[in-house]
Amino acid sequence: LPFTTLALGTSRVLQLPALVATINGVEICALNDVVASGGVTGRIMEVGWRIVTTGLDGLKRVDDMGVVPCDGMVLATPVGSTAYNLSNGGPVIAWGVDGYVVSFIAPHTLAARPLVVSALDGVELEHGGRGAALKIFSDGQEVGELGAGDIINISLDCQNSSLLAVVDDHSFYTRYRDSFAAAASDHVRRPRSTPAPPNSVRGSQP
C-alpha cells in the first residue's frame, strides 16, 4: 500500500480464512484456492473425494462422494471464490461465511455439482487411478503432485492469514454488484428488437 494510505490510517489488517492442505506430510496454506489439475491437455482424469466431519462425540465420519471424471477440482475460500472457482461455474461466497466451495474443472458427468462445505468439515482428494499424476496448486503456484494412492487433506482455518487492506465505505455486496451485476444489467436493459432499416419493405407504399 502507498505510504500516504498508511499515514492517513485508512487501512486495517483483516483476518481472513485460509485453506490448509496437507500432502505427503507437508502443510500448505492458500488464501484463495487449492487446485488439483491434470495438466495434460486432452486427457481426462479421475478424482476421488470424501468429506470428513467430526461429531459432537469427537468421532470422525467419512462420507465418500465418489470418483469424478474431470480435468481437476478447485477448492476456494470466500475470498478466492470469485476467481478460478467462478469460471468453473462455482458459486460466489460472501465474505464472512464460514465455509468454502468445491467445484469441478470440465466434469464429464452431470452428477458433479459445486458444493459449499462447512468450515468445520474437511475434504480428502485422492487420485482416481486414471491419467497422469495430478498437479497441486496453491494460489496459482505449483506445490506438489498427487499420484496413484496419494491423498491430500484440505480444511479451512478461519484465523490463519492476515491481509492489509484499504478501508472504504463499500460493502462486499456493493463490490459484487459493481464487478458482476453491472454487466448483466446492461444486457437486460438492451432493447428486445432493433428498428427496421430505412429501406425495409415493411409499411412501404407502391
C-alpha cell at 91: 458459486
More confident site: 14 or 187: 14
Task: Catalogue all structural domains in the chain, each as residue range(s) with its CATH number.
Answer: 16-163 (2.60.200.30)
Whole-angstrom CA distances from 93 to 82, 98, 120, 176 are: 8, 9, 16, 10
Nearest to 38 by CA among 147, 156, 195, 151: 147
pLDDT band at 130 (very low <50, low <70, confident <90, very high): confident
In tens, the pLDDT along 53-99 reads: 988 888 899 999 999 999 999 999 999 999 999 999 999 999 889 99
Q: Supply the pTM of this predicted model.
A: 0.79
pLDDT score for 41: 60
How far is the C-alpha of 123 from the C-alpha of 49, rounded, in Å? 7
Q: Cα(126)–Cα(50) distance, rounded to whole angstroms?
A: 9
Residue 146 to residue 92: CA distance in whole angstroms: 27
- Rounded Cα distance, 159 and 121, in Å: 15
Q: Higher confidence at residue 172 or residue 143?
A: 143
Per-residue pLDDT at 19: 96
Q: Are 150 and 126 in contact (CB under 8 A)?
A: yes
What was the pLDDT predicted at 144? 92
